[in-house]
Structure 1
C-alpha cells in the first residue's frame, strides 16, 4: 500500500506521533489539500520520512506511516521537474534521489561527513551539498534523463574561528545559487565566512572558492536568505545570535549593512539560531532560536533593513527548522528535542499566533512542501 494513504487524523490540540524533518509536496491549483513530508533523526526516534497532509477547509492535519529506509534526512530539495534529493547526515555522507512514491532511485556519496544542506541550480541539472563536519561542498551533475546524481567534485574550505569547540576548522552549513546563476555561495560556520564559487551553468562546472564575506569573529554564520526584490541577503549567525543584513554585489561578494540580535533585550541564557526565511512580499523575516525556544519576527522596511517586532515561543524544545505555508496562512515549526511540530497562524501583519495544534514527530529536523 502507498504510505501516503496510511494516515492518522490530527485534530486541534491532538499529538501526532512520528513527524520529523518535513519536505513538502507540490500543490495543484485545484487541490484544497497541502501535501508535505517530514524528515527525522534516527538517533532521536525518527523512523524515516513521514508524509503529512493539511486540509485547510477542515483545519485538519494528517500524518502518514513513516517511509522506512531514508534515515537521518536532515534536509531535502526538489528539482523543478525532477525528483527530491535528500541528504543522509552521517559520517559517511550520502545524497539520494527520491521518487514521488518516496522510494530511493539513486544514492551517491557526498564525499564528506554530515551533509546538512543542499541546493539545485535554475536549470535543475546541478546539485550542491554542504558537508558540515568536513567543511566541504560537494558538486554533483544530475543525469538529464533520470535525475540521478553523479559522483561529486568536492571542494574543501579553509579557515577557523575563535570559538575552539565549534570553530577549530571549517564547517559548511548552507549552499545556494545566486539569482543570476553566476555563483554558488556556501555559508561556513567554522570559518566565519561566506565562500563564492564561480558557476558555469552551460558547462556545469564550479571554479574553486574565493572569500565572499568575512563574518565577525566567533559569530558562526549558519544560513542565508535573499530578499525577493532587493540586492540584499540576510545571514543568521548561530554562535552570536545575530541577524546580519548584507548588500549583494555583482562580483559575488557581500558587504555588511547592519546587524541586530535575534533575542529579546535582557535575555541571559544560551541560545543558537537555526533557520531563516522571508515572506514573498519581502516585508517580514523569521528566525528560529534554539535555547530561547522561540521564533523571532522582523519587519523589513523599504530598504530591507530589519527591526524585530515579535518573539513568540516555538511551542516546543529546540526549534531547528520551520516551514512557511503562506497560501494557507500557516507556519509549522520543527521542535527537534521535544519531537514535535507546532502550528502557527500567520496574521495579515506577518506576526504569528499559536493555534494550539501540535504534531508529535520524533527527531523532526526538516520540513518541506512537495
Structure 2
C-alpha cells in the first residue's frame, strides 16, 4: 500500500450486483482505489472481528454466520444464525458471547464462543408483535443488538413492533424473558441504537419516522425519552434513516437519510442534540457510514447507486463532499481492513 494510504473493506448485496467483500484503498491524496472482490463472502452486511477470525452475517432467508480468516478472508466455517435475514452482530465485552439479530424472522440468537472462536448456540428468543405500518411492521423485526451492564443484559431494537427489549443473559442458560425497556411511537420503526460513551445516554434512530430520540437509562431494563427531532430538513419528502454513527467522544452524530439521500450531522451539547447541517450523500440510498478520525474523512456506502463516496470532516464535525468515488455495486457495509 502507498505511504499514507488506508486499507478498507466494503460488504455488498448480491441482489444489487455485489460481488462479495471488496477491498478499497483510500490514498494519501484522497483517491479511492478498488481491489479484486472476494466472492467467497456474500451478502456480508455486518461483521465483527474475533481474534484471528471475522464473523459475518450472510443476509439471506436461510440465514448464516460465516467465519473467515482475518488475514486473507479465506472461509473457515459456517453456522446457522437461528433465523432468517440476519442483519446485525454484537459481542459481549469479554468477546465470549455473540448475539445475532435476525430481521426477517424477528428473532435473536445468542452464541457462546470457544477458544478457537467457534460459536455454539446458547439460547434463542422468537419475538411476537407488530406495528401499524402494514408493509414493514406485519411482524417483529430484530434490527440491532447490543450488550449492556458488562454483558449481563442484551438490548434489542425491534423495528416491527416499535420497541426496545431487554434480556438478562445467563452464562449457562442463555437469554431470560424479555422486558420492554422502551415503547417507541407507533409506526416509527426503530432501527439502531448508539450508546454514548461515559454517559447514561443513548441515541435511537427510527427508520420509518426519520427521527433521532435521545434516551436516558432509568434502570437495568428501562429508558426514558429526553428529546426527539427529525433527521430531515423541511419538505424533504419520503425518506428512511439508514445509518447512525457517533464519534469516539460522542459529541458528534452522523445519520444517513435514504430517499432524501443525504447525511445529517448533529452536535451533542449538554445532553441535547443540535442539527449542524446536511450534505448530499453523492449517491442513492446511503446505508452505512465509516469515520476515519485520523484522516478527518468519512465514507458513505450508497446501496442503490453511486458506490462509495468520500467526505472531509471539518473541525466542527460538518461534512464537505470530495470528488473521490468508488464504483462498487450494492455497497452496504464499510470497515477498516
Shift of residue 188, structure 1, vs aligned partner: 0.5
Pick from 89, 103, 114 the counterpart of residue 85 of structure 2: 114
Pick from 13, 20, 30 the counterpart of residue 59 of structure 1: 30
CA offsets per residue over residues 298-357 of structure 1, 9 Å max, x none?
A: 111022x11111111001000011111111111100001105010001111000000111
User: What does 1:65-76 correspond to in 2, within 5 Å?
Assistant: 65-76=36-47
Comparing both chains, which one has the higher relative contact order based on Cα–Cα distances under 8 Å and sequence gaps of 6 or more?
1
Q: TM-score scaled by structure 2?
A: 0.95
Pick from 319, 322, 325 the counterpart of residue 352 of structure 1: 319
CA offsets per residue over residues 100-142 of structure 1, 9 Å max, x none?
A: 2101211000111111111111111111111001000011111
Q: 2-side partners of 1:40 and 1:136: how far apart?
A: 23
Structure 1 match to 2:174: 205
**Alignment RMSD:** 1.7
SS at match of 2:304: coil
Shift of residue 179, structure 1, vs aligned partner: 5.4
Q: 2-side partners of 1:33 and 1:173: how far apart?
A: 33
Work out whether 1:306 is the aligned partner of 2:273: yes
Structure 2 match to 1:85: 55
Q: 2-side partners of 1:207 and 1:97: how far apart?
A: 27
Shift of residue 32, structure 1, vs aligned partner: 4.0
SS at match of 2:294: helix
User: What does 1:138-149 correspond to in 2, within 5 Å?
Assistant: 138-144=109-115, 146-149=116-119
Shift of residue 252, structure 1, vs aligned partner: 3.0
Work out whether 1:191 is the aligned partner of 2:161: yes
- Higher strand proportion, which one? 2
Runs of 4+ in 1 over 6 A off after TM superposition: none
Which runs of 5 or more residues in structure 2 are unaligned?
Answer: none
Q: 2-side partners of 1:355 and 1:54: how far apart?
A: 12
Q: 1-side partners of 2:173 and 2:279: how far apart?
A: 43
Q: 1-side partners of 2:54 and 2:149: how far apart?
A: 21
SS at match of 2:288: strand
Aligned length: 336
CA offsets per residue over residues 29-66 of structure 1, 9 Å max, x none?
A: xx84322211100111111111122233x333332101
Q: 2-side partners of 1:162 and 1:88: how far apart?
A: 29
**Are 1:90 and 1:115, in contact at CA under 8 Å, matched by a contact in 2?**
yes
Shift of residue 93, structure 1, vs aligned partner: 0.2
Q: 1-side partners of 2:218 and 2:57: how far apart?
A: 30
User: What does 1:230-245 correspond to in 2, within 5 Å?
Assistant: 230-245=199-214
**Are 2:33 and 2:326, in contact at CA under 8 Å, matched by a contact in 1?**
no
User: What does 1:19-30 correspond to in 2, within 5 Å?
Assistant: none
CA offsets per residue over residues 248-305 of structure 1, 9 Å max, x none?
A: 23313211111000000232x11000110111122211110000000010111022x1
